[in-house]
Structure 1
Amino acid sequence: MCITQEQFKEGMQQLAAAVTIIATAHNGQRSGLTATAVCSVSDSPPTLLVCVNKNAFAHDQILAAKRFSVNVLSKRQVEVSNAFAGRYEDPSEKFKTGDWQDNAQGIPVLQGALVQWSCALTQVVEQGSHSVFFGQVEAVAMADDAPLLYGQKSYKTLSAL
């Protein structure tokens, strides 16, 4: 049985997920995007995977830099999510929203993010319109807040059942 691209997208819109910003920098130019396709792979060595559309400017920047950060947004960072989901002629314009600082490797990390992971690119797997980037975690920082989630075409946060 085959489904359409629209049916697939509609189904995926029901899947609630943490909202993250994937960020990188190469040759002095920052780039990043909002993403929900992020998950842990292994704790030994600590590894994450992120799925990035090949048409995104940040895609080729991640390949060139061989490093990226994964910044899990808190419920207070909706504005940052919206800025990084938008399209800009100059990708560095996105970084005017939020408090961004460069880590020891020169990769931007978002201050106040629920979690900041700094990763070294270890493997790339191409699948359809996206590349799956595997990153070995080199550093982590955490804040105390509630996560920003996205599901059913809107932002949400956690509440106890």
Structure 2
Amino acid sequence: MSIHGEHPFLTPPELRDPVRRLRGHLPAPVTVWASAHGGRRDGWTISSVLVGEGEPAELVALVDEDCDWWDLFRDAGTATVSVLAAGQGAVADAFARVAPSPGGPFRTGEWVDAPHGPRLSGAAGWVGVRLVDPDPPRAGWGLLVRARIEDVALSEGLEALEHRRGRYR
């Protein structure tokens, strides 16, 4: 319950970053990239993702170099990218570390071990990828990570989750 008509900590409109606002106006996919290596597994929610068709096809993502998962992905060299389905926003929040997940983020949702890394059951699809360059260039505040697509599976009849203007749709 709140006594405020709006969010009390919201930045005033004249102080908001126009580039961040632009990003918020664009619909973004919601994916979780997960890797396993040396008895450890981790993952991270990534919405800045592009599909590059071709031979070989690639996924390109902006990755926060400070996230714990990035070092694991570099060591493993592979990841499974789960394309979240409508209703799986809690999974995205757990892996973005913005919502609690007692016991770790893999306790949110049902996860299956796969050759490229853990994948989420009930996702709209998943992609097995292999890291192209362990020392990628920067793009803005993130790393411009390229991953070669080695396997793809789509779930028929499931709508992919998207993020726009701070909300899942």
Q: TM-score, normalised by structure 2?
A: 0.80
Matched, 1:136 2:144: no
What is the alpha-carbon root mean square deviation over aligned residues? 2.2
Q: Secondary structure at the match of 1:86?
A: coil
1:11-160 mapped onto 2 (5 Å cutoff):
11-86=22-97, 93-105=104-116, 107-123=117-133, 124-144=136-156, 145-156=158-169
Q: Secondary structure at the match of 2:85?
A: coil
Misfit runs of 4+, over 4 Å:
none
Q: CA deviation at 1:54?
A: 0.9
For residues 50 and 33 of structure 1, the distance between their equivalents in structure 2, rounded to whole angstroms, comes to 12
Q: Which runs of 5+ in 1 are unaligned?
A: 157-161
For residues 34 and 104 of structure 1, the distance between their equivalents in structure 2, rounded to whole angstroms, comes to 20
CA gap of 1:9–1:151, structure 2 versus 1, over 3 A, is same
Q: CA deviation at 1:128?
A: 4.2
Q: CA deviation at 1:87?
A: 5.5
Whichever of the two has the greater Rg, that structure is: 2
Query: 1:116-146: CA deviations, max 9, x gaps?
Result: 0010111233334311221111111111211
For residues 43 and 78 of structure 1, the distance between their equivalents in structure 2, rounded to whole angstroms, comes to 31
Q: CA deviation at 1:61?
A: 1.3
Q: Secondary structure at the match of 2:79?
A: strand
